[in-house]
Chain A
Amino acid sequence: MNEIIRLENISYIYGKGTPFEKVALDNVCVSFSRGRITGLIGHTGSGKSTLVSLLNGLLKPTEGKVFLDGKDIWENPKEISSVRYRVGLVMQYPEYQLFDETVRNDIGFAPRNLGLSEEEIAGRVNEAAGFVGLPAELLEKSPFDLSGGQKRRVAIAGILAMRPDVLVLDEPAAGLDPRGRRDILGKLGDYVRHSGASVILVSHSMEDMATYCDNVVVMNRGKIYAEGTTDEIFSRADSLSAVGLDVPAVAKIAAELKRRGIDLSGKLYTIDGVRDAILEYVRGGAK
């Protein structure tokens, strides 16, 4: 089977029956591929975060079903916590969830809840900390003494320590400087190759999507607006700007060059892709 998670006719309504009733998701059908990084993008309020909370059963859909590996996750509501171990969700600003005395214990919180042995927990903590690039000496510190970027890494490591089949990250790079962004997002590809897990990356940055994702799902006003491979999605830049999403700056440059009669081809939405295309064009012209 090629898909790890499938949503069927999902609707979610907040505050049903109150004056604040709000439809967050409206009859959404979408699936996420196994072993791939899928980007989930959309304007603020498009329903991304709601959709993400449905994936690991934090929210129960008002209508529709969520399938994990072909199995309805709400079939037995008492076993929903086992779904949460398989679908690791890193929420927005996850550093607010840190609570334990040391970084080591905090990362070990989820494995401890899983009921693993102490050696197994220690192994997983070291592995997860190593993966997000936390130096070993930080493990004995209090999480409240760390910098913002380090806290974020600890929080992500706290989820990785569960070794989830699906890693869902809701804006993991929000509020970080460009270098912190690259560090964290760049690890995702390694993680997929290493563990064979699937990753779902929520972001509203088109640059991140273009650089790190294999597939992209575009959401707009509680509906799926478009889905496909990154190439497919970015080749339709016009329709993206129609829903308030901006294509990456390099893609705009490439489009403008094309409009002026310079024939480029290749991945015209990442910096590397456009650079290669221009180089090729220049070399081709020189011949």
Chain B
Amino acid sequence: MISDITLGQFFPGYSVLHKLDPRTKIIIAILSIVAIFFANNPITFLLITIIAVILIWISRISFTVVIRGIKPILLILLFTMILNIFMTTGEGDPLFEFWIIRVYTHGIIRAVFMAWRVILLIVITSMLLTYTTSPISLTDGLESLLLPLKLIGVPVHTFAMMMSIALRFIPTLIEETEKIMNAQKSRGADFSTGSLVNRAKALIPLLIPLIVSSFKRAEELATAMECRCYRGDKNRTKLVKLELRTRDYLCLALSALLLAAIILGAILPYNMPINIAFYDLLFYKI
């Protein structure tokens, strides 16, 4: 079912991860992305994987839910892997050769880690942001972080509002899609069999009502907002003011340290002679 897609869904809860200030979580998410792209050997990947597992564990969200959230990107993962396997040229002899295709061991290892990198990216950012932060506090946090841009004339509040509306309506649209799909199935529409062209054609009875109702919904929302005197951020006050607490500072400091450790782990081994056991395995450069 479509509603199995959890990517971009908020799971209410009371864990530390839920309680952190959204700004803290956004900053940590950015640091994590930097760390994930710095990671270039098994030891750094291992460290980030442990962090991801710890994040899932303290959020009290079940592993199955997280895994289900990865499902929709399986195709992208597969594509990334295939590209990496075929495009990477390694040293030494290829693993096997066929026509113009050459597959190297290095390419396969690289493909696995690339896929792993995308998975980590999705898991960590969704753990920090979408799963444990409500859309409203997420946009509040973003707005507050981007506030300096207002000085150069960027309509920060408008952007934040647009984003929160978009996020807010994802589940609604999914629900709507399912409803219309069921209605058309009840009239004998078939979405899952037939040739590609036929299947594309079968989407018309789904897409047109969906677009029509989206426009209607947008208009109704705009009217409702105007009825409540919405005028952007002019004189707008907030019910919940964002406030950084001790736990936020602690988490930020910890993330900065971890980021530093990962960057060191990614750069140092190749610039300095380090002599430890399993060097080749732990620091195999991907």
Contacts and interface: CB of A to CB of B under 8 A. Distances in A.
Contacts of B64: 17-18
Given A99-B204, A109-B205, A144-B212, A91 B183 contact: yes
Contacts of B11: 19
A58 B62 contact: no
B186 interface: yes
Contacts of A25: none
Given A17-B64, A99-B204, A162-B188, 13 more contacts: A19-B11, A58-B185, A85-B188, A89-B186, A91-B183, A94-B183, A109-B184, A109-B187, A109-B188, A109-B189, A110-B188, A113-B188, A159-B187
Given A19-B65, A58-B182, A91-B182, A96 B189 contact: no
A156 B194 CA distance: 27
A97 interface: yes
Interface residues of A, number: 28
Contacts of A96: 176, 179-180, 183, 209, 213
A88 B190 contact: no
A81 B186 contact: no
Interface string A93-124: 01011111000000001100110000000000
Nearest to A94: B183
A49 B248 CA distance: 45
Contact of B187 (A19, A113, A144): A113
Interface string A49-60: 000010010100
B190 A113 contact: yes
A100 B207 CA distance: 11
B209 A84 contact: no
A84 B180 contact: no
Contacts of B3: 15
* Contact-residue size bin, chain B (C-beta under 8 Å from the other chain): 20 to 34
A56 B183 CA distance: 11
A17 B65 CA distance: 9
A47 interface: no
B208 interface: yes
Interface of A: 15, 17-19, 53, 56, 58, 81, 84-85, 88-91, 94, 96-100, 109-110, 113-114, 144, 158-159, 162
Interface of B: 3, 11, 61-62, 64-65, 176, 179-180, 182-190, 204-205, 208-209, 212-213
| Interface core residue of B61, B180, B182, B190 (most chain A CB under 10 Å) | B182
B204 to A, nearest CB: 7
Given A19-B11, A97-B180, A88 B205 contact: no
Contact of A84 (B179, B185, B212): B185
Contacts of B184: 97, 109
Contacts of A53: 182
Contacts of B185: 58, 81, 84
19 contacts: A18-B64, A58-B185, A58-B186, A84-B187, A84-B188, A85-B188, A90-B186, A91-B182, A91-B183, A94-B183, A96-B179, A97-B183, A97-B209, A99-B209, A109-B187, A109-B205, A113-B189, A113-B190, A159-B186
A49 to B, nearest CB: 10
A104 B118 CA distance: 49
Top 4 closest pairs, chain A to chain B, by CB: A113-B188, A97-B183, A110-B187, A99-B208
B62 A19 contact: yes
B195 to A, nearest CB: 16
B272 to A, nearest CB: 48
Contacts of B180: 96-97
A111 to B, nearest CB: 9
Contacts of B189: 109, 113
Contacts of A159: 186-187
Nearest to B188: A113
